[in-house]
Amino acid sequence: MATVTIKNVSKAFGDNVVLKEFNETFQEGEFVTLLGPSGCGKTTMLRMIAGFEKPTSGEVYIDDQLVSGGKTFVPPEKRSIGMVFQSYAVWPHMNVFDNVAYPLTIQRVPKAEIREQVEKVLEIVHLSQYAKRLPNQLSGGQQQRVALARALVAAPKLLLLDEPLSNLDAKLRESMRFEIKEIQKKLGITVVYVTHDQTEAMAMSDRIFLINRGVVQQSGTPEQIYNEPINQFVADFLGKVDFFKGEAANGRIAFPAMGGQSIAYDGPRTGKVEVAIRPESIYFAPDGVLEGTLEAQYYLGDVDDCRVRVGDTLMRVIANGYEYKALREGQKVRMNVRSFMVFEDNGLLEQMLKIQT
Amino acid sequence: MKNAKAAQKELPRQTRAPLITKLALALVFALGAVIIALGVSGQRAYDTSGFSAESAYGAIYALSKDVNAAWEKQLQPQLAALPAEQRAQVDEAVRALLDAAWEGANPGSAAEVESILSPVPEGERTALSYKLLYSAYLVNGPKVSTAQKKEIAALSAADLAAFRTAMLNGVTDESAALPAAAEKAADLKGQERQAALMQLLFTSDGAAASTESVNTLKKGVRDKVKQLDAFRMIARGEVGWLWQLIVSNSRTAVLVGIIIALDALLLTLLMMWDKSWIIDVKWIIILLIVDFLLLFQLMPLVYMVIKAFFPEGSFSLETFERLYTYSLNLDALTNTLIAAFATMILGTLLAFPLAWLVGRTNLYGKKFFRALFVLTYMVPPYVGAMAWLRLLNPNVGTINQWLRVLFRLSDAPGPLNVYTLPGMIWVLTSFYYPYAFITISRAMEKMDPSLEEASRISGGSPLKTLFTITLPMMMPSLIAGALLVFVSAASCYGIPSIIGSPGRVHTVTTRIVEYVSLGQQALNDATGMAVFLMVMALIILFISDVVLAKKQYITVSGKSVRPAIVDLRKWRVPLTVIVSVFAVIMIFIPFATIFTTSFKIDVGKSMFQAENFTWTNWQTVFGRTETMNCLKNSLIFASVTATVGIAIACTMSYLLQRTRVKGRKIPDFLITLGSGTPSVVIALGLIMTMKGNFGINIYNTAYIMIIAYLIKYLMMGMRTVVSAMSQIHVSLEECSQIAGASWLRTMFRITGPLIFPSIAAGWFLIFIPSFYELSMTTLLYSSTTKTIGFQLYEYWTFTSQPMSCAMAFGILLFVVALNFLLNRLTKGEFSI
Ligand SMILES: Nc1ncnc2c1ncn2[C@@H]1O[C@H](COP(=O)(O)OP(=O)(O)OP(=O)(O)O)[C@@H](O)[C@H]1O
Ligand SMILES: [Mg+2]
């Protein structure tokens, strides 16, 4: 139940500018995800909201109250925030119960109530039976859940989560995702979530901020970001995508590398373009517009991952799993493209993609 | 495929191996037992012989060969050539001489001679009597002057034969003329004359027995009565080569036997534990290291403990009673405890805030301060003591002079006096707080800052966070640091010896050294003190290595940790000033004092005062050959220690980090134990056991010093290499091996270069303290093995303070230069 407003925030460590001119408001009860390659400044952003770093310039408001900026600085303990650290930061000299109870102890909550609340939150993170254990007797994933429980226990109005699920197995991760989402909805907390995992971001977020080199590349709902990426980097970062250079003219885009084969296009661009096609939006059809030879196929159960040679290029096609039996390597196939994205060919593609790591 | 084949080939060998191995082990064990048995029987024989040194047996063996050769080659042919009548006369004379030989010392000797000769068959009796006489005359026959010997030696072969004949003639005929070389005997009469002539006859023997053996025999058989036994053994050739070897080395034999048997036993246990009966070369290496440590570390300590409880061979607590009934000892005990405790408290109180300021705040010049505080760590303690003495001497101490001027005090001594217990505590603190500083700041910098941040975000104020998170997590390191200071202060000798002794503030270590210098009888008292000190140190070692180590939370996350820096804000400047003042008082002023004093003529005056500046101190000190000899000794001992030490350290690191071989922890344990034992105790143990009483005699040699240094400082090197090796992931090595490189190649090409910096660091970490060592050296040195540290101490106590300051500053410069070199060599990764 808090808004976070970030005004013109920049952050530099020495000469190294980590965040540039960040401007955004996170709404009450919103689940916001910061997504981006490693080292792009996600943690730094969170730490500025929490009050562990001061912005080099700009201001941070929580609930319209200035917390960092100018001469004002509210220390972290006065900000009523819950946070899960990337390194868990579970205190090794306290057992699980004491770790989780700590925020309540500081608030001088009566003992009985502490017990009750801690037990409740431990239940949520599936750690009830570990209450008396010391952290060094826990696995990485369990420690991560202790950290989550500690962040949740005081029912903060703002929750900052720095890759809180990175160490869990797939199943537990899914269930925890659900739990976090539930708690957030129930309590109406504002959550700022940091992750590498795009599926996680897509599944949970109301809004995703995709950051690269300290600059927000695009923000929007998961659907917007996935389907309407504003540049090649965004398209590439979310989901699988292949780029093909083409020429747009007369309502079609022709691909020189595919022996001049072309697809229909009714968009505004003309001239040299870069077409981004997701492999799952290509499908085999007898009357397809593109023709090629099936070079290889990998049966993955639910899908059939194919490589088709079209002219000089290799296209990746993720076909329906049932198609596997019908296809033979070396046979001629025809394909249609359900949807694709067209960008101006500014020659920066390679450079943009390189930055990812 | 390849593996399967290899396994098949291995199979038959494996099934056969246990039996062969067990047999071999049993054989080795038996060999050990046999050697022990031989040693014991040798020792028995020696005990019953009543001789005063085992080496007598060696001499007896050597002499009996000489005597026999002389009889067969010279005497016998000579006698055979005599007419039968004269021959009988000579025989008779010899017999009479024999009877008379011991009359003075042992009235019943004639009967004994008879009892030696009578059981021998008639034919050999004469031969035996000649040999016996020859042996006796070797040791205490009539004197033959050197001039005479030369004369005889100068005779030609023909003259020699004539000379001998003349001697024999002289024995039988008192009126016979004597050659020039035997002139002196001419004045003698009767038996005396005969004895002198016989002696000359023996002396003329070309294959004269070696004087060395004779001397050994004289020393080995002091008792005149027992000499007869020795001569009998010589004459009859009773002592064979093997037997003399066994008896004269019987103690060593027992020791070697025990070691061999113990090794076999240990190896058997290891193999049983490992359930494998294939001998691993690594075990042999482990055993060699263990043997070394058992002999030179454990045995002395154990012997010392036994000696303390069984001072005169039977159980008694008298030694310990004397610890507190004798007031000087009780004083030493309480002084030590008080000083160590106070130093611990003071040192930790200084170290903790300093570590925090330097490690976790934005103090100005943190790096510089850090380097500065750590620098003290490698300064010899006695140098610090000398500096503080110069500053706080009640009469001429510089600080006292300033204070008197500042507060307009009278010229009476004071106000501060370093020659007191508080004075000593102050100096101990100034030297040992870096120990706590290093331990604490290491832990502080390793701590993951998000642990504190998590507390802040949970609502904890910085102060609350300090007390509920930071301090509790630091506690094990804090205690470990404090205990380290305690034990170092309690076992320190350099500072109390320089400050305490003049002020009659005794400590356990100074008392031990005093007792040792008092000689054998006082050793008992020394052992009591040493056992007290050792037990205290070992308890503390146990607490910090076992109890606390378990609690040392693993706060190092895989991700590199960037400590959260606390902004001191308005306190930044004042705190920087305070730390600077502290550094000036603790480090700059003492070193500057040493430096300036080294140029003074009158230490009471300023260096800049007229006619008080001189270079001669430096010239004198470094111009003396004695100093250079000591310096050479120190360099050699320290280099040897460091080289041997680092070789063991590398081996141990490999065993500990790269193998799972059973028993690798045994030497590790012993090495840790050694480094935790106070220096004075190590040295005392070595003195008491390495004088030959256990078959090893390295007393007064360089070996005993090198061994002592090794025991004390080996761990410094080992820890460094071990930690470096633990940081190189095995996969790097495996990667190279997969690439087809042999193990040796991998070690040299991959592991070696990667850990070279730490090997170099380890070498210096052993070298530097060995170079300036004082406590152990004081107990172990001999006139030829004095070291620079001891020389400095002697200069300070007996010669001149300015000169010793020159030497101290020289040492300091050298050590700092070494540190700089080390830093360069390891690309800044290591310095002390
Ligand atoms: N205290 C600091 N001093 C100097 N540089 C820093 C500091 N903290 C972060 N950086 C730099 O800022 C950049 C962004 O770091 P940040 O931790 O925000 O990345 P991130 O997006 O969280 O990455 P990851 O996904 O790997 O956690 C990195 O290049 C990092 O090296
Ligand atoms: Mg991060």
Q: Are residues B631 and B573 in the same domain?
A: no
B106 close to B228: Cβ distance less than 8 angstroms: yes
Do A150 and A255 reside in the same domain of the chain? no
Are both A24 and A118 inside the same structural domain?
yes
Cα–Cα distances in angstroms (integers) from residue B413 to residues B299, B392, B395, B502, in the given order: 50, 10, 5, 16
Q: What was the pLDDT predicted at B15? A: 56
Is B244 a member of any domain?
yes
B349 and B410 together in one domain = yes
**CATH code, B500:** 1.10.3720.10
CA–CA min distance A90, chain B (Å):
7
Claim to verify: residue A248 and residue A225 sit in the same structural domain:
no
Residue A252 sits in a domain whose CATH number is 2.40.50.140
Q: Is residue B516 part of a domain?
A: yes
**For residues B787 and B640, what is the distance between their CA atoms, to the nearest angstrom?**
14
Mean per-residue pLDDT, B313-318: 82
Residues B136 and B244 in one domain: yes
B413 by Cβ neighbours in 10 Å (0-12 / 13-18 / 19+) ranks as middle
Q: Report the distance separating Cα B285 and Cα B652, nearest Å.
A: 9
- The CA distance from B447 to B437, in Å, is 15
Q: How far apart are CA B40 and CA B721, in angstroms?
A: 43
Looking at A208, A234, A260, which one is the last position of a domain?
A234
* B558 and B641 inside one domain: no
Same domain, A320 and A182: no
| Rounded-to-integer distance, Cα A84 and Cα A162, Å | 6
Q: Identify the pLDDT of residue B553.
A: 57
Find the farthest-apart pair of alpha carbons in chain B and give their distance in angstroms, rounded: 124
pLDDT tens for each residue of A280-339: 888 888 888 888 999 888 888 788 888 999 888 888 988 887 777 778 888 888 998 888
User: What span, in angstroms and rounded, lies between the C-alpha atoms of A114 and A101?
Assistant: 6
* A314 and A199 within one domain: no
Question: In total, how many domains does chain B have?
Answer: 3
**Nearest CA, atom 31, ligand 1:** A39
Identify whether residues A170 and A264 lie together within a single domain. no
Which of A38, A43, A46, A106 would best serve as a mutation to test chain B binding (most B beta carbons within 10 A)?
A106
Boundary-marking domain end, from B248, B283, B304: B248
pLDDT in tens, A235-262: 888 888 888 888 888 888 888 888 888 8
A-B interface: how many C-beta pairs under 8 angstroms? 69
Residues recorded for chain A: 357
Whose tokens are 């119960």? That residue is A97
Chain center to CA of B328: 28
Instruction: Taking each helix axis as running N to C, give the angle between helix B318-325 and helix B299-309, from 0 to 180 degrees, rounded to the nearest 10.
Output: 80
Are both B571 and B677 inside the same structural domain? Answer: no
Q: Are A30 and A207 in contact (CB under 8 A)?
A: yes
Task: Give the C-alpha separation, B238 to B371, whole Å.
Answer: 71
Cis check for the bond before B415: say yes or no (omega within 30 of 0). Answer: yes
Minimum distance, in Å, between the CA of residue A171 and any CA atom of chain B = 25
Confidence grade of residue B9 (pLDDT, cut at 50, 70, 90): very low
Percent of chain B with pLDDT over 70: 91
Domain boundary among A209, A234, A259: A234
Cα distance between residue B381 and residue B773, in whole Å: 9
CATH number of the CATH domain containing A110: 3.40.50.300
Instruction: Please write the tens of the pLDDT for every residue from A11-64.
Output: 998 888 888 888 889 998 899 999 988 888 888 999 999 988 889 999 999 988
Per-residue buried b or exposed e for B767-797, using 16+ beta carbons within 10 Å of the residue's own CB: bbbbbbbbbbbbbbbeeebbbbbbbbbbbbe
Q: Is the same domain home to B217 and B123?
A: yes
Phi-psi region at B214: left, alpha or beta (left = phi > 0; alpha = psi -120 to 50): alpha
- Nearest of B197, B66, B207 to residue B131 by alpha carbon: B66
Gap from CA of A96 to ligand 2 centroid (Å): 24
Same domain, A82 and A142: yes
Contact at CB, B454 and A75, closer than 8 angstroms? no
- Predicted confidence (pLDDT) per residue in B168-213, tens digit: 888 777 777 777 777 777 777 777 788 888 888 887 775 566 778 8
Q: Give the pLDDT confidence of B800-820 residue by residue, as tens digits.
A: 888 888 888 888 888 888 888
Lowest-confidence segment of A117-121, B189-193, B257-261 by average pLDDT: B189-193
Report residues near ion ligand 2: CB below 5 Å.
A 43, 86
Sheet strands side by side (includes A341-344)? A262-264, A252-254, A242-249, A271-277, A341-344
DSSP string, A35-92: E-STTSSHHHHHHHHHTSS--SEEEEEETTEEEEETTEE--GGGS-EEEEBTTB---T
Q: Residue B681 — φ and ψ, nearest 5°?
A: -70, -45
User: Residue B206: what pLDDT?
Assistant: 58
> Does residue B312 lie within any of the structural domains?
no
> Does the distance separating the beta carbons of B459 and A92 come in below 8 Å?
no
Using an 8 Å Cβ cutoff, are B239 and B248 in contact? no
Compute the nearest-CA separation of B359 from chain A (Å): 18
φ, ψ of residue B647 to 5 degrees: the values are -65, -45
Query: Nearest 10 degrees: CA dihedral of A161, A164, A166, A168?
Result: -160
Residue B638 has pLDDT above 90, yes or no: yes
A248 and A192 within one domain = no
* CA nearest to B463 within chain A: A77
- Supply the pLDDT for residue B11: 46
- Chain B CA closest to residue A100: B458
Q: Is the dihedral of CA B191, B194, B199, B202 positive or negative?
A: negative
Q: Do residues B241 and B327 share a domain?
A: no
| Angstrom distance (rounded) from CA B824 to CA B7 | 49
**Among the three residues B208, B230, B248, which one is the final residue of a domain in this structure?**
B248
Flag whether pLDDT at B745 surpasses 80. no
Cβ neighbours around B429 below 10 Å, total? 24
Top mutation candidate among A33, A42, A163 for ligand 1, by most atoms within 8 Å of CB = A42
Going by their DSSP bridges, the two strands A282-284 and A262-264 should be labelled as unpaired
Q: How far is CA B241 from the centre of its chain?
A: 33
Last residue of a domain, one of B554, B586, B618: B586
DSSP β-bridge partners for residue B274: none
- The kind and range of the H/E element at B783 are none
Specify whether the CB–CB gap between A239 and A226 falls below 8 A. yes
- Residues A175 and A255 both lie in one domain: no
Give me the amino acid identity at B617.
Answer: N
H-run or E-run covering A298: strand A290-299
- A351: containing domain: 241-356
Question: What pLDDT, on a 0 to 100 scale, did the predictor assign at position A357?
Answer: 40
Find the range with the poorest average confidence among B127-131, B629-633, B765-769: B127-131
B362, B455, B458, B463: best to mutate for the A interface, most A CBs within 10 A: B458
Question: Both tokens of residue B255?
Answer: 């020791």
- Contact predicate B237/B64, CB 8 Å: yes
pLDDT in tens, B359-393: 888 889 888 888 888 777 778 888 888 888 888 88
pLDDT of residue B53: 81
> In sequence order, what are the residues at sequence separation of 6 or more whose Cβ sits closer than 8 angstroms to the Cβ of residue B476?
B443, B548, B549, B551, B552, B553
3-class secondary structure, A265 = coil
CA distances (Å), origin B422, targets B427, B432, B537 = 9, 15, 23
Instruction: Report yes or no: B490 and B508 within 8 Å, Cβ to Cβ.
Output: yes
Assign B8 a pLDDT band (cuts: 50, 70, 90).
very low
pLDDT at B554 over 50: no
B-chain residue closest to A91, CA distance:
B451
Q: Is B667 helix (H, G, I), strand (E, B) or coil?
A: helix
Which of A9, A13, A161, A209 to mutate for ligand 1's pocket (most ligand atoms within 8 Å of CB)? Answer: A13
| Cα distances (Å, whole numbers) of residue A221 to A32, A164, A231, A235, B130 | 9, 21, 16, 14, 122
Task: Tell me the pLDDT tens digit for each residue of B671-686.
Answer: 989 988 999 999 999 9
B124 and B221 in a single domain? The answer is yes
Among the bound ligands, the one closest to the CA of A39: 1
Helices (H), B204-293: 211-220, 224-236, 241-248, 250-274, 281-293
Backbone dihedral angles phi then psi of residue B696, each to the nearest 5 degrees: -120, 125
Write out the two tokens for A159.
């929750």
Is B672 among the domain residues?
Answer: yes
Contact predicate B346/B435, CB 8 Å: no
Same domain for A190 and A251, yes or no, is: no
pLDDT at B723: 80
Residues B576 and B637 in one domain: no
Q: Which residues pair with A341 in a beta bridge?
A: A276
For residues B641 and B573, state if they share a domain: no
Residue B265 and residue B290 in contact, taking contact as beta carbons nearer than 8 Å? no
Select from A83, A93, A136 the Cβ nearest to the Cβ of B457. A83
Q: Write down the pLDDT at residue B307.
A: 87
Indicate if B531 and B645 belong to the same structural domain.
no
Handedness of CA B818, B824, B828, B829 (dihedral sign): negative
Non-local (6+) Cβ contacts of B380 within 8 A are B494, B772, B774, B789, B808, B811, B815
Query: From the CA of A106, how many Å to the nearest CA of chain B?
Result: 6
Provide the number of structural domains found in chain A: 2
Query: Ligand nearest A38 Cα, by number?
Result: 1
Q: Using the mean position of ligand 2's atoms as its centre, give its distance from the Cα of residue A29 in Å.
A: 23
Question: Is residue B664 in a domain?
Answer: yes
* Structure-token pair, residue A184: 């957030």
Does the pLDDT value for residue B513 go beyond 70? Answer: yes
Is A73 in the same domain as A209? yes
Question: Distance between alpha carbon A216 and the CA centroid of its chain, in Å?
Answer: 13
The binding-site residues of ligand 1, defined as CB within 6 angstroms of any ligand atom, are: A 13, 16, 18, 38-44, 86, 196; B 562
- Last residue within a domain, chosen from A234, A255, A272: A234
CB-based contact A107 B459, cutoff 8 Å: yes
> Quick one: B578 and B670 in the same domain?
no
A303-310 vs A290-299, strand pairing mode? antiparallel
Q: State the residue range of the domain holding B758.
A: 627-802
- Tell if the CB–CB gap between B458 and A52 is shorter than 8 Å: no
Q: Tell me whether residue B810 is in a domain.
A: no
Q: Do A43 and A109 belong to one domain? A: yes
